Amino acid sequence: MLEKPHLLIANNTDDVIAWIKKQNCLLNETIEPYPEISSLEKFVTYHYWSNSESVNVFQVKGTAHPDYIGITWIDMLKAGKRMPLNLSLLAENPDYYFQKTKKEPVMHYTKINDKIFISGEGNHRTAIAKVLFYCTGDAILHGVEYNEYQIDFKLKELYEKTKSLLFRKFPHIEIIPENRILKREDTSGWKKDYYTNYFKLINHRKNKQIEISGNELETIYMDFSSFNILKSFFSKSIIKKIL
């Protein structure tokens, strides 16, 4: 363990960067892009929000900030636009990174399935925390505003394939992904929402609309993909309701 690592990081930043680059550690991983959550929201099955969460900072893999995607976490000590100010604050108050109260200014993390991303403020402080904790042997950063989503990516892929087939064969029938909340658990400062996913099928020629489940969507896709498409297609009661 280094003596007074916060001062070493703040005052001898170039030396720390050079030292870390010789190590086989997570700080040399490149920062990944944050997925576009708006394209995933209809495939959410679970959402957890906390006003103040404790997170293993080494599990943070990426960011929504376009300027920092593709560089390494250790290079953030030089690339961060406000890094000189943040390093100065580190030298003055290293306890900030170990306090269990909510971080001010707010830090925003979002977990999508098994990866955590910086989804708002906190890029500079995350990079500093990673380096500081690597030196001290710590891992947990407290007081982060936190969202966690479980996304059914397989269902999203099935929807996209079915939509493509519909567009080619029945362009007047539109498919729209939707979800609705099944249950909420919450008290002050946190909540958990559980969702069910479904789809709207709309026949624009006949002004008809039905709802189908994910399992029914799979049945429709398999029928589309079969050799005798029309025979299979028209035999299904699901499709009869919309034609």
Instruction: Please tell me whether the overall predicted TM-score, pTM, comes out greater than 0.85 for this model.
Output: yes
User: Domain check: are 76 and 156 in the same one?
Assistant: no
pLDDT for res 220: 82
User: Domain check: are 171 and 209 in the same one?
Assistant: yes
Percent of the chain with pLDDT over 90: 81
pLDDT for res 208: 92
pLDDT in tens, 7-60: 999 999 999 999 999 999 999 999 999 998 889 999 999 999 999 999 999 999
Which has more confidence, 242 or 154?
154
pLDDT for res 227: 44
Three-state secondary structure readout of the chain: CCCCHHHHHHHCHHHHHHHHHCCCCHHHCECEECCCHHHCHHHEEEEEEEEEEEEEHHHEEEECCCCCCCCECCCHHHHCCCHHHHHHHHHHCHHHHCCCCCCCCCCEEEEECCEEEECCCCHHHHHHHHHHHHHHCCCEEEEEEEEEEEECHHHHHHHHHHHHHHHHHCCCEEEEEEEEEEEEEEECCEEEEEEEEEEEEEECCCCEEEEEEHHHHHHHHHHHHCCCHHHHHHHCHHHHCCC
User: Domain check: are 35 and 46 in the same one?
Assistant: yes
Classify residue 189: in a domain, yes or no: no
Classify residue 164: in a domain, yes or no: yes
Classify residue 122: in a domain, yes or no: yes
User: Domain check: are 99 and 178 in the same one?
Assistant: no
> Is there a contact between 156 and 149 (Cβ–Cβ < 8 Å)?
no
User: Domain check: are 127 and 163 in the same one?
Assistant: no
pLDDT in tens, 146-183: 999 999 999 999 999 999 988 888 899 999 999 999 99
pLDDT for res 198: 97
Residue 202 dihedral angles phi and psi, to the nearest 5°: -125, 125
> Is there a contact between 198 and 178 (Cβ–Cβ < 8 Å)?
yes
- Whether the link from the prior residue into 105 is cis, omega within 30° of 0, is yes
Instruction: From residue 20, give the alpha-carbon distance in Å to each of 13, 72, 108, 146, 176.
Output: 11, 11, 26, 28, 48
**Domain boundary pick from 96, 126, 150:** 150
User: Domain check: are 176 and 159 in the same one?
Assistant: yes
Which has more confidence, 239 or 56?
56
What is the extent of the structural domain holding 199?
A: 152-184+194-240
**Res. 87 pLDDT band, cuts 50 70 90:** very high
